[in-house]
Amino acid sequence: MFKRKKERTITEQINKKLKGDMQKNALDFIAFMKENDILPDKPDGNCYSCNDAFVCVLCVYPDGKKIGWSIFIGSYDCALCREENQAYPIDDELKAFAWSHVSTCGHFSSGGKHCGCGGQPGKSIKLFGREFHNICTSILCIRNAEGVELEKAKRLAIVWKQSNGG
């Protein structure tokens, strides 16, 4: 009889797989999510999705030479991508940050790399009034956030939660 491997909590994943500032920043983001009721609750390998409105997915990835963590925010059907919400009230600096982290689907990249999202090809979306094409199923990807980027990622998570009725 096989023993089923116990799923680690996201905090256990972070403590086991990340070190130093990366670990500190990822744990800080987890604490922020708990304080704001955006709790990671659905483990899927090294990824944890947060609430049914898909505010964010947090992934820890120590594979080979690539070690780190990512915050994925939003999906194709998120409220902020609907036409009626293109003028959602956020400042220009946060819009620019979001736009700079829009996640292009790797299925059709010049290097032929597969991003692993399962959506082929990526879709077109409109986000805060700007159009993007070939976008991955997770609209935003913020890798190894620290300092100002981490604070902006937190602000975006709140915007996403609020726009989805959270």
Asked if the structure places residue 82 within a domain, the reply is yes
Cα distances from 123 to residues 30, 77, 101, 104, 110, in angstroms, run: 29, 11, 16, 9, 17
Q: Given this model, what pLDDT does residue 67 score? A: 77
DSSP calls for 120-157:
SSPEEEEETTEEEEEEEEEEEEEES--HHHHHHHHHHH
Inside any domain, residue 145: yes
Number of domains in the chain: 1
Per-residue model confidence (pLDDT) at position 109? 47
Token readout for 159 is 């915007």
2 within domain boundaries: no
Q: Could you tell me if residue 142 is inside a domain? A: yes
Q: Which two tokens stand for residue 98?
A: 């979001």
Residue 129 lies in a domain: yes
Residue 55 CA to residue 72 CA, distance in Å, equals 8
Q: Could you read off the pLDDT of 1-37 as tens digits, one per residue? A: 555 456 667 788 788 888 999 999 999 998 898 898 8
**What would the pLDDT profile of 35-52 be if each residue is shown by its tens digit?**
988 765 665 555 666 555
Rounded to two decimals, what is the model's pTM? 0.80
Cα(155)–Cα(29) distance, rounded to whole angstroms? Answer: 11
Instruction: Quote the tokens at residue 73.
Output: 């925010």
Which pLDDT belongs to residue 93?
95
Judge whether residue 99 has pLDDT over 80.
Answer: yes
Cα angle, residue 136 at apex, residues 135 and 140 outer, rounded to 5°? 85
Note the pLDDT of residue 117: 58
What would the pLDDT profile of 114-145 be if each residue is shown by its tens digit?
555 555 567 888 888 899 888 877 788 899 99
Containing domain of residue 119, as a range? 10-163
